[in-house]
Amino acid sequence: MKFYLSIIKVVLSLFIFGVSGDNVNDEGEQQVNYDYYSGYAFPSEYSVSFQRCQRVKYYNDEAAQEAGIDGPLVAKQFVIFRLCENSDWNNMRCGNCNSNYGEYVMEANDYLEATIGKAQETLEEICNQCNGGYQCPYECQNLYNDNIPSAENYIECQEIGEAEDGSTLYVGPRCSSDGSSIHISIFKDSNCWYHTEEYSLKDVFNGVSISHHLFYYAVRNGKSCFPCSADNDGNMDETCDDLYSASAKCELKNGLVSGLLSEYAYDDRIYENQLANEYEVCTFINSIVSGSYDNKEGDIVLRSHRRQYVSTEVTATQRTSLLALSLTIFSLLVYIMYLHSYINIHSKWLGKS
């Protein structure tokens, strides 16, 4: 129960205050986008690696009061990503992500907006190198094709058409059922809270399939990875800077001490709040990774655990041990009394002599 209360506490704090690295200084001024890192190479020596997307259902006052919404619960979508060491960018794979890495969480829409430009650059570089040959990935076919709708144009929830009953349909991003990617889907409300499977994307796009070629390089587990170094001088990429500043952070648990901890030592005003709340953030991330939420709808999954009972009955072995211990203590007390009497008698005898 304490575990789930801790999760709910973190989720509510993320919804109320936002998943952000921005902080307010002592004078009440908002401090944003710290593009310096105390002289440390972090995180320019790391690479961003998309891990998963997760829907998390929670109570919402607006949904409870708005007519036509199916109940007071809505789903928020979060992305978990990591900063990994030693990026092997030639093979488009992140390097060591088993130790000394940071794990971060932010809203899915914000992550998409921050990384879609980097995905565009990556795909353009790949397509230019293969120059239209047979080694070009399939995504290159849609990179400059203006005749098909592209997923990056629908990151924000927006109206797309009408249903047969006259209700309005909307499109927006949605976590895949296994959390390994994000795709555009159809919703029944203007917030893209309530997904519908009554219509397909082809139905609302006049029979044309929507292309997710940039999503493939931005939000796909095992594929979406890019370095944080902008050049050979170690300057940090702007996308990494934006992601690091805007995300809630879990670093110390994973062995990463060159992030929050170093920044706090340099200037305790910058990340003091995030460092103090890191345990709660790590707990929330762990709840997502460990499957505490249903992949499809975001409901909390309550697992039944085997209970362990402790017997209060004293066994025969325990009674024997207690008896033996009591006899031993009694014997020691008798021996102590004997020694005390012996010393007193002999001290008197020695005094007379």
The predicted-structure confidence for 290-337, as pLDDT tens digits, reads as follows 888 887 888 888 763 433 433 445 567 778 888 899 999 999 999 999
Decide if 9 is inside a domain.
Answer: yes
* Placement of tokens 């020691």 in the chain: 332
Q: How many domains does the chain contain in total?
A: 1
The pTM of the whole model exceeds 0.85: no
Q: Residue 112 is part of which domain span?
A: 2-142+219-289
Decide if 309 is inside a domain.
Answer: no
- pLDDT at position 294: 84
Cβ neighbours around 144 below 10 Å, total = 8
Which parts of the chain register pLDDT below 50?
1-41, 304-312
Across the chain, mean pLDDT equals 77
DSSP state of 90: G
- pLDDT at position 235: 73
Decide if 150 is inside a domain.
Answer: no
- pLDDT at position 173: 96
Q: Cα(84)–Cα(95) distance, rounded to whole angstroms?
A: 6
- pLDDT at position 270: 55
Q: Helices (DSSP H) in the chain: which residue ranges?
A: 2-17, 61-65, 108-130, 140-143, 201-204, 215-218, 238-246, 260-266, 272-276, 278-289, 316-352
How confident is the model over 52-85, as pLDDT tens digits? 999 998 888 887 777 556 678 888 999 999 988 7
Decide if 227 is inside a domain.
Answer: yes
Across the strands, what pairs with 93?
Answer: 88
- pLDDT at position 267: 56
Closest CA to 150 of 227, 228, 213, 86: 213
* Placement of tokens 């800077």 in the chain: 241
Decide if 132 is inside a domain.
Answer: yes
Decide if 30 is inside a domain.
Answer: yes
Decide if 195 is inside a domain.
Answer: no
Decide if 251 is inside a domain.
Answer: yes
